[in-house]
Structures are given as structure tokens and as C-alpha cells.
């Protein structure tokens, strides 16, 4: 059977341990089931480590002036620890779960480092003091969980960091993080419709940049990249349900220096309806070759932008125009090339591709009298008999 204490001792003596976290019996003269005299006699590392131990009273320096806390930090300049988190009170465990007050504090202490994206945000923030303060802040809302025994209050007050709070557990070689990303994209859409979003930022050190989009549902993309500093990244997403979602994006460089989250972009996902049939206002009569102006507008229940498809009735068609704001009155000009009774037909389409009903405006383009007279004279020239009929009727 493997002897755990021997394995750990060999690893420490071989300088293979930099940080350690343990749960074992402790008292003012013992940490991790190892007494202070044994620590001093049998452990001879040349590179000090950091130790987190939530055993009982191992940090109680009032109880033992030369106890295990002294052994760890002051016995030698090179051996044993350069910093510890120890309890000056009882450490509180639970036989039935891993969420006792001491276990919770330990988990939150380490999760500060391990959850770079949501907690520490930047490797430059990997400082012992920040992690310890974070764990206490996370415990603060639990202070009344067990008002009768006070275990949560005790751990907030009695679990202490002995060491330099500014000490980092990673060398400061990561440089500066990217600037806060700029996020752009639509602020509304229809459920199950694929929407496209873009983002970009710059890195002060010129490092390659990775991006992660958060879609406001707990779902995120993988890290996208690397991209050059300032280069635009594109991501797409669709939502299966209706609602309002806050989209945001975060960036990191290739050394894991994290930016701030972008400003959130609210995206409203709706069950879309088509625009109302357009309004069209303009002359209902005119002349061939004459410019006529028509004012067209359309409203949309979801306030989407709209474009127009116009059939002019003389064989000419204006295919889908550019998009205009909902309700905006837009002037379209047309020169009719055909006489007679014509029908202008207009329909609108929103940004989701939903089309309205057609609106019809009837216009009259009468024949030009001069053109009619010219045609009649040519008929008389070709058919002289018509002149006799006209003479008889006169």
C-alpha cells in the first residue's frame, strides 16, 4: 500500500511541490497530521511552497509560540512554506458533504485562480490576498446558515492568510490584457433565426487575441482565434425561445491575459409578424414621359426596418429597395412609358423576410391628342375612301 505521507514528503524534498491544499487533522503544533518537530527534521526542500490547510487551530499562534506556524514560516529561509492559509480556530468539516464552511472556503479560494474568466479575470490578479479576500466575500452571505454553532462566522473570522498578500502564484510574464472588446450586431430577431455578431479589440503588446461570446443563456462559444490585434471576429447564434438576451464577449491574449467583458448588447427575440400593407400617395393621372413622385411607407408591429417591391404597371419593376425605418415616408419617382389605365402594386418586407399584402393604386395615363391626330392623318393618306365618308357625314 502506498504511504501518502511518504509520497508527499519525497515530493517536497525533491522540490516537486509549489502549491498544496490539504484536509487532515491539525492543532497548534501539527499540520496535515505532521507535527512541527517532524516538519523541521524531515522536510528539506530548497524551494518553499504555499500550503492551504483547513485543519483545526494550526494557525493558533497564541496557543503555541513555536508551533507549526513557526515551523512552516520561520524555521528556515528556504525550507517548508513561504505562505500558508491556516485556521486560528476550529476547521469545520462534514461527513456527508463537501460543502462545510471550511471546505466551501477552500473551494472558493482555489476557484478564484482556476475560474479565470469569471473570477480572477487576469493572471496578473493571481495574488494570494485577492484569492483569500474573494473566498471571504463568497462566504459572507452564508453567515447565518448556522446561527447556533457559528461555524460559518468562525471560518470568516478565523481562517487567515499568513504571508505576503501581494505574492503571485505565477510569474508576471503575461504582459497587458487586451482592451475591452467592441460588440456589434442586430438588437432583435426571430426565434430559430441565425443572427450574426462581430467583435474586435486591440492588444497593447500586439499579442494574438482569442474571443469568447456569451449568448445570455449560460451558453458560450469555444475560444475563437487566434486573431491579429484589431482584426474582426464573427460569430453566429440562434435562440429557440422568445425573450430578451444580453450578449457579451470577452477577449484574451495568447498568454491568457483577460480583457473586461464588452458592454452587453440586448437582443429581443420575437415571434415575427409581417409588415402592414404599405401606404402609397401620389398622382392618379398624368402623362407619358412625365416624372411622377409617389410617397410610400409601411409600419411593422415589431418595429423592424422595411424595404419595398414596386410594380409600376407599365412593364417596369423596382425590385427590393434598401431598408428604411419603420413608418418612414420614402419618395419614389417614376416616368410611365405606357398609356391607359395602369395599376401600381407595392408590398413591403421586413428584415426577417416576412412580406406584407399588396397595396394597389390605380392611375390613368391618357393618350396624347397630338399623337392621335398624327395617326389619323396617316390613315387618311393610306385610305382615301375615309375622306368621302367624313365629307358625307359633315
Chain mean pLDDT for the chain: 90
Domain boundaries, the chain: 4-162, 182-268, 279-369
Say how many C-beta atoms besides its own lie within 10 A of residue 322's C-beta.
8
The reported pLDDT for the residue numbered 392 is: 47
- Is-contact 254 208, C-beta < 8 A? yes
Band (229; pLDDT cuts 50, 70, 90): very high
Question: Strand, coil or helix: what is 81?
Answer: strand
Say what the pLDDT of residue 318 is. 96
Kindly report the CATH class assigned to 4-162. Answer: alpha beta
pLDDT band at 228 (very low <50, low <70, confident <90, very high): very high
Q: What's the confidence (pLDDT) of residue 37?
A: 94
Distance from C-alpha of 349 to C-alpha of 275, rounded to nearest angstrom: 7
- 324-359: b or e for each residue (b if 16 or more CB lie within 10 Å)? bebeeebebebebeeeeebebbbbbbbbbebebeeb
pLDDT at position 384, please?
A: 62
Give the dihedral sign, CA 102/107/113/119: negative
Q: Kindly state the DSSP code that residue 28 receives in the 8-state scheme.
A: T
Q: Is residue 380 pLDDT above 60, yes or no?
A: no
Q: Side by side, which strands form the sheet with 81-87? A: 19-22, 49-53, 81-87, 159-162
Give the CA distances from residue 43 to residues 40, 66, 179, 211, in Å, rounded to whole numbers and listed in that order. Answer: 6, 17, 46, 45
- pLDDT value at position 328? 97
Instruction: State how far the Cα of 320 lies from the Cα of 322, in Å rounded to an integer.
Output: 7
Q: What is the pLDDT of residues 298-322, one digit of tens each?
A: 999 888 899 999 999 999 999 999 9
Measuring CA to CA, which residue among 268, 272, 274 is closest to residue 239?
A: 268
Q: How many contiguous H segments (helices) and E segments (strands) does the chain have?
A: 8, 21
Asked if 47 and 78 count as a contact pair (C-beta separation under 8 A), the reply is: yes
Domains 4-162 and 279-369 share a fold: no
> Is the pTM above the cut of 0.75?
no
Alpha-carbon gap, residue 296 to 327, rounded angstroms: 9
> Which pLDDT score is estimated for 94?
84
Q: Is the pLDDT of residue 158 over 80?
A: yes
User: Strands 49-53 and 19-22, how do they pair?
Assistant: parallel
The third-level CATH classification (topology) of the domain covering 182-268 is Immunoglobulin-like (2.60.40)
Exposure string for 67-77, b = 16+ CB within 10 A, e = fewer: bbbbbbbebee
Residue 3's pLDDT band, with cuts at 50, 70 and 90, is: confident
CB 128 within 8 Å of CB 167: yes
Percentage with pLDDT > 70 across the chain: 91
d(C-alpha 335, C-alpha 331), whole Å = 14
pLDDT tops 70 at residue 371? no
Q: Which CATH number fits domain 279-369: 1.20.1250.20, 2.60.40.10, 1.10.1330.10, 3.40.50.1100?
A: 2.60.40.10
Which stretch of DSSP H or E encloses residue 106?
Answer: helix 101-114
Instruction: Pick the range with the lowest mean pLDDT from 82-96, 113-127, 205-219.
Output: 113-127
* Burial readout 172-201 (b: 16 or more C-beta within 10 A, e: otherwise): eebbebbbebebebeebbbeebebebebbb
CA dist 11 and 18 (Å) reads: 10
pLDDT at 387 over 90: no
Amino acid at each position: 500500500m502506498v504511504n501518502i505521507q511518504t509520497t508527499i514528503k519525497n515530493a517536497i524534498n525533491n522540490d516537486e511541490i509549489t502549491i498544496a491544499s490539504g484536509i487532515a487533522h491539525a492543532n497548534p503544533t501539527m499540520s496535515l497530521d505532521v507535527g512541527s518537530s517532524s516538519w523541521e527534521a524531515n522536510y528539506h526542500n530548497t524551494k518553499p511552497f504555499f500550503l492551504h490547510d483547513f485543519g483545526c487551530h494550526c494557525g493558533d499562534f497564541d496557543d503555541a509560540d513555536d508551533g507549526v506556524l513557526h515551523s512552516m514560516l520561520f524555521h528556515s529561509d528556504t525550507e517548508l512554506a513561504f505562505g500558508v492559509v491556516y485556521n486560528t480556530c476550529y476547521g469545520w468539516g462534514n461527513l456527508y458533504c463537501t460543502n462545510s464552511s471550511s471546505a466551501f472556503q477552500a473551494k472558493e479560494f482555489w476557484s478564484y485562480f482556476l475560474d479565470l474568466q469569471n473570477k480572477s479575470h487576469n493572471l496578473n490578479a493571481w495574488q494570494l490576498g485577492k484569492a483569500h479576500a474573494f473566498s471571504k466575500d463568497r462566504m459572507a452571505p452564508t453567515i447565518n446558515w448556522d446561527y447556533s454553532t457559528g461555524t460559518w462566522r468562525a471560518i470568516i473570522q478565523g481562517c487567515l492568510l499568513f504571508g505576503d498578500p501581494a505574492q503571485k502564484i505565477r510569474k508576471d510574464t503575461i504582459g497587458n490584457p487586451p482592451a475591452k472588446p467592441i460588440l456589434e450586431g442586430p438588437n432583435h430577431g426571430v426565434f430559430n433565426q441565425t443572427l450574426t455578431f462581430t467583435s474586435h479589440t486591440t492588444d497593447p503588446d500586439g499579442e494574438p487575441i482569442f474571443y469568447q461570446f456569451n449568448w445570455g443563456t449560460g451558453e458560450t462559444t469555444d475560444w475563437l482565434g487566434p486573431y491579429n490585434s484589431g482584426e474582426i471576429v464573427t460569430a453566429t447564434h440562434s435562440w429557440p425561445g422568445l425573450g430578451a438576451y444580453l450578449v457579451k464577449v470577452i477577449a484574451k491574449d495568447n498568454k491568457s491575459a483577460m480583457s473586461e467583458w464588452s458592454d452587453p448588447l440586448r437582443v429581443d427575440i420575437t415571434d415575427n409578424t409581417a409588415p402592414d400593407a404599405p401606404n402609397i400617395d401620389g398622382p392618379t393621372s398624368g402623362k407619358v414621359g412625365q416624372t411622377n413622385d409617389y410617397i410610400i411607407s409601411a409600419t411593422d408591429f415589431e418595429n423592424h426596418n422595411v424595404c419595398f417591391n414596386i410594380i409600376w404597371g407599365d412593364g417596369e419593376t423596382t425590385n427590393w429597395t434598401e431598408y428604411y425605418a419603420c413608418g418612414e415616408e420614402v419618395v419614389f419617382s417614376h416616368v410611365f412609358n405606357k398609356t391607359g389605365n395602369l395599376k401600381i402594386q407595392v408590398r413591403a418586407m421586413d428584415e426577417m423576410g416576412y412580406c406584407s399584402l399588396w397595396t394597389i393604386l390605380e392611375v390613368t395615363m391618357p393618350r396624347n391628342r397630338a399623337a392621335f391626330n398624327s395617326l389619323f392623318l396617316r390613315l387618311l393618306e393610306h385610305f382615301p375612301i375615309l375622306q368621302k365618308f367624313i365629307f358625307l357625314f359633315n
